[in-house]
Amino acid sequence: MTTAPIDTARDSRDRVIVFDTTMRDGEQSPGASMSLEEKLELAKILEDMRVDVIEAGFPIASNGDFEAVREVSKIVTESTICGLARAGMADIERCAEAIRPAKRGRIHTFLSTSPSHRDHILKASQEDILEMITKSVTHARNLCDDIEWSAQDATRTEQDFLRRCVEAAIKAGAKTVNIPDTVGYSYPSEYADIFRDIIENVPGADEIILSTHCHNDLGLAVANSLAGVQGGARQIEVAINGIGERAGNAALEEVVMALKVRGDALPYYTGVETQHITRASRYVSAITGFPVQFNKAIVGKNAFA
């Protein structure tokens, strides 16, 4: 396998931020829990790999998650440490407390936007959702400079309403807006078009970072993530070995190596030092007890046999 030549005069606008959620979304795989010591070791590996953002947990979910985010925040100095929070004030405040020791911290808050979630889970109107976005992002921004907001189930949300939600989040102070394919429902050309539409039609969208977060229910998580970048996203949310709930998340190793090897077709780049990928893959497999399938791309036993 050959690697595309590196352009030493790369445009920073083509830089893709790598956001690793192995410790948060990856740990939602049934049976994939990690101890505090294991999370601290994984954080060091991810930092060595030069991952940009490490989502270390969901602080309000449990005391264990809170401690993990706080302790990771203490030892990592290069990567941004992120905690997840729902739109409630208590969630956001607990998250802010957990990331306080971090040299660079981020609050990642989310709210469902699709009609299915609005009507059957939140029992909220569109106007209610917009008000909740504004209040939650504003509160988070008062506690932390770096705020990411996610539209849960974005790919099943009406496009005009998704635009309004993104605009509300930007106005309230979000520096990153995530458009997740929460149920692994989208396909690449459709997903890319969502980002293009937001950039073209939402005021301020071209001044923030748009992010992908793709689940692999149809086996399209990596393809969708790369399509999102082609559509204008500049952050990709991934997990080592593609672990995560149900069929998993976009695999860090596949996304990073696709960008590295196919720079001719995908003229974007990351800061990840790829020589650490195998070490990270083996460590995550060992601590979760999830074996890597032999024919898995990039890190599988047979991949280069």
Domains and CATH numbers, the chain: 12-288 (3.20.20.70)
- What are the structure tokens assigned to 193, written together? 């078009």
pLDDT given for residue 259 in this prediction: 98
The pLDDT tens digits of the residues spanning 215-233 come to 999 999 999 999 999 999 9
The pLDDT tens digits of the residues spanning 77-86 come to 999 999 999 9
Q: Classify burial at 282, counting beta carbons within 10 Å of its beta carbon; exposed 0-12, middle 13-18, buried 19 or more.
A: middle
Residue pair 283/42 in contact (Cβ under 8 Å)? The answer is: yes
**Interatomic CA distance for residues 277 and 240, integer angstroms:** 8
pLDDT given for residue 257 in this prediction: 98
**Interatomic CA distance for residues 47 and 112, integer angstroms:** 31
**Interatomic CA distance for residues 82 and 44, integer angstroms:** 15
Please, which residues have CB within 8 angstroms of residue 61's CB and are 6 or more apart in sequence? none
pLDDT given for residue 159 in this prediction: 97
Low-confidence ranges of the chain (pLDDT < 50): 1-8
Q: Could you say which DSSP state residue 293 is in? A: P
Q: Could you say which DSSP state residue 263 is in? A: T
Q: How far, CA to CA in Å, does 26 sit from each of 48, 66, 170?
A: 19, 16, 27
